[in-house]
Amino acid sequence: QVQLVESGGDLVQAGGSLRLSCAASGSILTISNMGWSRQAPGKQRELVAAITTVGSTNYAESVKGRFTISRDNGKNTVYLQMSTLKPEDTAVYYCYLNIWGMTYWGNGTLVTVSS
């Protein structure tokens, strides 16, 4: 199976910055589309940012201009650089990987933004 390990979640003040990392390993033969979703308590999971195998990116309107997704294909790792954080960004952030019609998820990392 595919294993995704996230890191970087922390408690930060509003206006601060944080970088999340997600390393993929396991039965992966090719690079894959990857990205980040988040889920706040009592709310549905929402897509935050996505990046294709060739580096094309998409962002949720709520984070556009503040978050940047990037990847290192050699390490099969995806990053999420978050800046100008707001309390409404507080959520568990999940890394995902899409390959062969399947979606794999990490266990999540908690980001808490205090006001």
* Contacts (Cβ under 8 Å, ≥6 apart) of 109: 6, 7, 8, 9, 20, 92, 93
Q: What is the distance between the alpha carbons of residues 81 and 19, in angstroms, rounded to a whole number?
A: 4
3-state SS record for the chain: CEEEEEECCCEEECCCCEEEEEEEEECCCCCCEEEEEEECCCCCCEEEEEECCCCCEEECCCCCCCEEEEEECCCCEEEEEECCCCHHHCEEEEEEEEECCEEEECCCEEEEEEC
For residue 86 the two structure tokens come to 């707001």
Does residue 105 register a pLDDT over 80? Answer: yes
In this predicted model, what pLDDT tens digit does every residue of 7-17 receive, in sequence order?
999 999 999 99
Percent of residues, the chain, with pLDDT higher than 90: 82
Residue 102's DSSP bridge partners are 99
Lowest-confidence region among 12-16, 22-26, 106-110:
22-26
Residue 18, pLDDT score: 98
In this predicted model, what pLDDT tens digit does every residue of 47-95 receive, in sequence order?
999 999 889 999 999 999 999 999 998 888 999 999 999 999 999 999 9
Range 18-37 average pLDDT: 89
Does residue 20 register a pLDDT over 80? Answer: yes
